[in-house]
Amino acid sequence: GVVKAFLYFFSLIYGLVVRVLIFIYRLKPYRLNCKVISVGNITLGGTGKTSLVSLIAQYLKQRGHRVAILTRGYKKPVASCQLPVASYETMGDEPYMLKMNLKDVPVVVDTDRIRATKLAIRDYGADTVILDDGLQQWKIKKDLEIVTIDSTNPFGNGYLIPRGILREPLSYLKQADIFVLTKTNLNPDNQDIKEFFNQLNPSALIIESIHRPLGFCRVDKRDEFLKTDALAGKNVTLISGIADPDSFENLIASLGINIALAFRFPDHYSYARKDLENVIRESQKKSIDTIITTEKDAVRLNNLPPIDHGLRLLYLRIELKIIKNEQEFYNRLLGLYSY
């Protein structure tokens, strides 16, 4: 109780600071010389932002728009696209994963999104930028504010950090244009969440989506592909360093795969050779010959020196699939260019 009271006190201070910053920045937001789409979340942890950013970028690219993705990266303070060679070390795991999957879409890593946008316009002729994790970019005028909500844990305990996981007060979601409920296949009963948003922000569009598994790829050979049913009934080891390991493990289990061992590391964990060696050793003790990880983890694991272990190290490819109000969502995107 004492600890909770202590954390609650600091959450009040945090909330006051956030409210003051939002008020100041929104007095005169910076207008960028292109369309600005923000994809963000109001909570700490993984909500599916990166998958949605990828979907939006691909859709707009196919319709002839010059799209660039702007992200701050994780502990990456410089604009990585200015460097001659893009790599995991210079960009961070999620931006590099986006770069690998969206080869012809520029990914700009910079903590200063205004500077990054100017670079994207100057160097790539971007007419549209997507702000990855952009909800808290209050100083920028946005054409479309999209908020991703993890339907399995939408708001945590309802408190601001550090008492809870909210990054800003829920009342500020009144500014959102679209709410995207993610992982609804793991929590089909989300009527209460939708009713909350309908009361808070009646004009916003509510989208439902799932994380759909596509198949498995080798970490060291991305072109080798296995279908989702290829490992059904097989004992495997899981390794993950992401914000929501439960969703990953539940998704694997839903494919009929037996999870014999599961190793969890902190989000964005920088793997060392000894970490992988320990996973391999424990797997061999149980006669497990297949290790499965996430695509984000695969970027970091592939950065390790090769280990001759005789096991298959695979990662699960997934995509975000909109299952409700899909056409309305795309109409909102295309509506940005109708004036």
What is d(CA 2, CA 110) in angstroms, rounded to the nearest whole number?
Answer: 39
pLDDT at 76 (0 to 100): 52
What is d(CA 61, CA 38) in angstroms, rounded to the nearest whole number?
Answer: 16
> What's the length of the chain?
339
Q: Nearest Cα to 329, choosing from 190, 178, 195, 200?
A: 178
CA distance readout (Å), 19 to 28, 154, 168, 271, 272: 15, 21, 8, 37, 40
Determine the average pLDDT of the residues in 2-23.
93
CA distance readout (Å), 286 to 196, 237, 302: 47, 10, 24
Q: Are 289 and 311 in contact (CB under 8 A)?
A: yes
Integer distance in angstroms from the first to the last C-alpha of the chain? 55
- Is the pLDDT at 99 greater than 80? The verdict is yes
Which of 103-112, 229-238, 253-262 has the weakest average pLDDT? 103-112
Q: How confident is the model at residue 163 (pLDDT cuts 50, 70, 90)?
A: very high
List, in sequence order, the alpha helices (H) in the chain: 2-27, 49-62, 88-91, 93-101, 113-124, 191-200, 245-254, 273-285, 295-301, 326-335
- 323, containing H or E segment: strand 312-324
> pTM value?
0.89
pLDDT at 80 (0 to 100): 45
Determine the average pLDDT of the residues in 77-86.
46
pLDDT at 85 (0 to 100): 44
Q: Nearest Cα to 45, choosing from 286, 290, 244, 263?
A: 244
Determine the average pLDDT of the residues in 26-52.
91
Q: Nearest Cα to 236, choosing from 265, 207, 254, 257?
A: 257
pLDDT at 118 (0 to 100): 92
